[in-house]
Amino acid sequence: MDMRTLTYWQAISEATVQCMQADERVLVVGEGVDDFRGTYGTTKEAFARFGPDRVVDVPNSENATAGLAVGAAAAGMRPLVVHTRADFMFLAMDALVNLAAKWRYMYGGDKGGAPVVMRGVVGRGWGQGATHSQCPHATFGHYAGLHVATPATPADAKGLLITALTSDTPTILIENRSLYPLTGEVPEEMTPVPFGVGRVARAGTDVTVVAASLMVHEAERAAEQLSAQGISVEVVDVRSIRPLDDTIICESVAKTGRLVVADTSWARYGFAAEVAAVVAERIPEALRSPVRRVTLPDCPAPVSWPLEEAFNPSATEIVKACLAVCDTTRSELPALETVTAGFQGPY
């Protein structure tokens, strides 16, 4: 397999072009997809090769774009919709959740599905405020009938997008904008990466950190810091949150006995809560200390740069959480009769 070093955005671009070359049903739809400055360079090559017939700029209406794409998918096309701000994908929820996710089930499978793929760009910028810096991946992950991928590396960005564009299941690909400059080894061939199969990004024995997308790299930074203190951290990159690789998570926690979950969204009803629930339901006896979640504070994002720096979780918070679970051990309490057996009074 021939490997090259590509950036995260170049890997997405290459996957898009290769899938369009392999299948004429694939088309790209979104605001500014004909202008590389609007899509972080990810659609520049596709537009140069295939032009406006297959790389289609659309008006500023996420609801209409979603309806167009889901209809095209139901009719046999394979549209790739680019949302440069996933915050506004909420406007696409009806077409995505009520139609695309349920199409195959409502029609008994005989009419196929609506295999639309939506790329959602998430994450902080520089003072972009509460409505332009959200990470709504857990919202999409809640709905049966959808797949949600969270690639953390250039190779996975390419491989997971290829899987999405060749799958019959509607898919959301979550891309944290902070990852676009990231470089890594990427196969030249069309090499799909399966959904629901996580990877151990760093092996360890003392504590497991489960993370997705950008937080995988923060977890690796934290693991490097903790290694200097004699704490061995295992970092699990889930790759997709729906389907979620329960097995790799539980195998790691069974080995380490401790779990920290790191996410770029809120703790309540989110990805971190789901991972904690999986472990609590499947291997509660393995936990030697309570689960810790490293997530956003329970409020919308601030605009101020210093406040934004404090608001977003980082390796520092992961280090603190790992130290906390490693310092906390669960002891078996002795039976009451054992405690009182030697008691002589006078009371």
Q: First vs last Cα of the chain: how many Å apart?
A: 79
Q: How far apart are the C-alpha atoms of 192 and 190, rounded to whole Å?
A: 6
**Residue 89: closest CA among 104, 72, 69:** 69
Strand partners for 26:
78
Residue with tokens 């004909």: 34
Pairing label, strands 171-176, 117-122: parallel
228 contact partners, CB below 8 Å, separation of at least 6:
none
Q: How far apart are the C-alpha atoms of 135 and 285, rounded to whole Å?
A: 32
**Residue 114: closest CA among 147, 82, 71, 165:** 71
Q: Is 142 a catalytic residue?
A: no
Q: How far apart are the C-alpha atoms of 272 and 283, rounded to whole Å?
A: 16
Q: How far apart are the C-alpha atoms of 332 and 108, rounded to whole Å?
A: 53
Instruction: Give the tokens for residue 26.
Output: 């694939």
253 contact partners, CB below 8 Å, separation of at least 6:
208, 259, 279, 283, 286, 287
Q: Is 132 a catalytic residue?
A: yes
What is the DSSP-derived secondary structure letter of residue 91? G
Q: Which of 14, 31, 62, 175 is catalytic?
A: 62
Q: Which of 45, 132, 251, 317 is catalytic?
A: 132
Q: How far apart are the C-alpha atoms of 245 and 275, rounded to whole Å?
A: 10
Residue type (1 letter), 272 = A
Please give the positions annotated as active site.
62, 132
